[in-house]
Amino acid sequence: MTVHDDSHPESDDQDQGLFSLDKSVTSRAYVAEIWKRRDFALSLPIEELQSSHKDTLFGNIWHLGNPLLTAGVYYLVFGKFLEVSRGVDNFVVWLIIGVFTYQLTSGTILGGASSITSRQGLMRSFRFPRAIVPISNMIGELLAFAFQFLVIVIFAFATGVGPSRRWFLLPVILLIHTAFNLGGSFIAARLNDGFRDIQQLIPFVLRLAMYASGVMFPLDRIVGRNDLVDWLVRLNPIASLINFYRWMILGTELNVATSALTVVESLLILWFGFRFFKVAEYRYGQS
């Protein structure tokens, strides 16, 4: 047996002497370190996904069954009993797009915040870039969203919405959306590590953001009454992110200037969130 560790380039430097493990690394080196552990980042959420419904009779069917039932309830309540349209064509599909895509954002941010505390044991046992913890939470949420998206497509087709060329932009939309979610998740994770009270507050912030993002009703219901609310709604990238999906599937209007602003905002939040998280790298999992 040869004692040599190919996966660690630093062990090749051994002849040049000793090094310290706790020196902080550049962002580029940090990202490279995360990339090297990509299989680890992937295996965590997949493991969790596979074991999440193990104690149920239908098991993995629930990954699809849960969003299917959620959408079914909305269809019955809003589409059949109340016949709500709120001035929107195909309100049921419009609504479930809003609910599921907003759930991707709120789930990623809330899960990111709690992941730092719930994965403490893993962090105390293994040395790896801590950003992997919120990243693998994000991957888990994306996997759950894949099933929800399938349900959206099923309901869209069932209500006569056909595929269009806009659908080819799905990867781009997902990428922008994920940049925003991950950035928010990094920020929430760091804040929650410093003050555990944050975890109690985030759900309320997210619920407020939900009403300001046009998830359940069109935003023109709340704009035009108060200047401050108007500005908040206009700057809110989540509303615009949700609208990307509605534009893609239902062909709702898309404001080019607002969309461009959303792309910039999402990238800025990811950049800021990453740096904000990385600064406190050594503190995660210590307390």
Partner 1 sequence: MTALSVQVTDLHIEFEVFSDRRAGLRQRLATQEGSGRRVIEAVNGVSFETRRGEAIGVIGSNGSGKSTLLSALAGLIKPTSGEILVSSEPKLLGVGAVLLNGATGIRNIRLGCLALGMSSEELDDRVAEIVEFTGLGEAIDRPLKTYSAGMRARLHFAISTAVQPEILLVDEALAVGDKEFRKKSRAKIESLLANAGTLFLVSHSTNEIQRLCTRGLWLEKGKILADGPVTDVVAEYGADN
Tell me which residues touch partner 1 (CB under 8 A). 1-8, 10-11, 14, 17-22, 36-37, 39-40, 43-44, 47-48, 51, 54, 121-128, 282-283, 285-287
Q: What is the 3-state secondary structure (H, E, C) of 162-226?
A: CCCHHHHHHHHHHHHHHHHHHHHHHHHHHHHHHCCCHHHHHHHHHHHHHHCCCCCCCHHHCCCCC
**Which one, 15 or 227, has the nearer CB to partner 1?**
15
CA dihedral 117, 274, 98, 154 (to 10 degrees): -90
For residue 214, the minimal CB distance to partner 1 (Å) is 38
Cβ contacts of residue 189 below 8 Å, gap of 6+? 112, 113, 115, 116, 133, 134, 277, 284
Closest approach, Cβ 41 to partner 1, in A, equals: 9
Helix axes 237-250, 256-279, angle to 10 degrees: 130
The residue among 116 and 248 lying less far from partner 1, judged by its C-beta, is 116
- The encoded tokens of residue 207 equal 């619920």
Distance CA 242, CA 139 (A): 19
Task: Read off the amino acid at residue 30.
Answer: Y
Nearest distance, CB of residue 119 and partner 1, angstroms: 9
> Biggest alpha carbon distance in the chain?
75
- Nearest distance in Å: CB 220, partner 1: 43
Residue number, 12 or 89, with CB nearest to partner 1: 12
Q: How far apart are CB 189 and partner 1 at their closest, in Å?
A: 18
Identity of the residue, 47 or 220, whose beta carbon is nearer to partner 1 in the bound complex: 47
